[in-house]
């Protein structure tokens, strides 16, 4: 009557924000961290990084598969922000693709894109964000996150 998959629990993937150190600019000032949204089974598994690349005026959204967060030499911080069921990942990726890239405002960067992308996931069925994660506080939360290399 019921197939074997009827009782199979849906697989949940983890959603993280990873912040990567970009070093110093020509004047010796710290560049802002590069942010990406990582969807993966766990930090020890390969996942997909969702982020914008390049810079003004060439920013573009480009996902990248096979990203091992903890293997990056430039990883500064990683923050767990939620979960998404495997069957609902496409919905989330569709949201990410629709987030506008701003190549006009020189103050806009990948961090703004990540915040807007996470905001787009609020209330989406199959996605649950961590309780206490306030999107407007993501900058502080990411900076306060433990150094991902120590996990």
For the stretch 60-78, pLDDT in tens is: 999 999 999 999 999 998 9
88 assigned to some structural domain: yes
Q: What is the mean pLDDT of residues 2-28?
A: 83
Other C-beta atoms within 10 Å of 27: how many?
5
150 confidence band (pLDDT: 50, 70, 90): very low
Residue 2: predicted pLDDT: 53
Residue 21: predicted pLDDT: 92
Pairing of strands 60-61, 47-50: unpaired
9 assigned to some structural domain: no
126 assigned to some structural domain: yes
Distance of CA 6 to the CA centre of its chain: 31
Rounded CA gap, 61 and 52, in Å? 4
Given a cut of 60, whether residue 1 has pLDDT beyond it is no
The domain total for the chain is 1
Domain of residue 62 covers 14-146
5 assigned to some structural domain: no
4 assigned to some structural domain: no
The upper half-sphere exposure of residue 144, i.e. CA atoms within 13 Å in the direction of its Cβ, equals 6
Q: What is the pLDDT of residues 98-134, one digit of tens each?
A: 999 999 999 999 999 999 999 999 999 999 998 877 7
7 assigned to some structural domain: no
1 assigned to some structural domain: no
Rounded CA gap, 123 and 56, in Å? 31
151 assigned to some structural domain: no
In this structure, the dihedral spanned by the alpha carbons of residues 147, 149, 150 and 151, taken in order and rounded to 10 degrees, is: 100
């Amino acid at each position: 009557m019921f197939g074997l998959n009827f009782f199979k629990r849906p697989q949940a993937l983890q959603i993280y924000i990873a912040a990567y150190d970009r070093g110093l600019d020509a004047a010796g000032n710290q560049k802002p961290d590069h942010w990406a949204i990582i969807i993966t089974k766990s930090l020890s598994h390969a996942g997909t990084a969702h982020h914008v690349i390049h810079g003004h005026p060439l920013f573009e959204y480009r996902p990248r598969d096979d990203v091992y967060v903890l293997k990056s030499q430039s990883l500064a911080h990683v923050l767990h922000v939620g979960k998404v069921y495997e069957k609902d990942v496409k919905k989330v990726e569709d949201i990410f693709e629709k987030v506008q890239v701003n190549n006009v405002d020189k103050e806009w960067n990948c961090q703004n894109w990540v915040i807007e992308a996470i905001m787009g996931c609020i209330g989406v069925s199959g996605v649950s964000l961590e309780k206490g994660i306030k999107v407007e506080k993501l900058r502080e939360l990411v900076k306060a996150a433990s150094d991902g290399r120590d996990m």
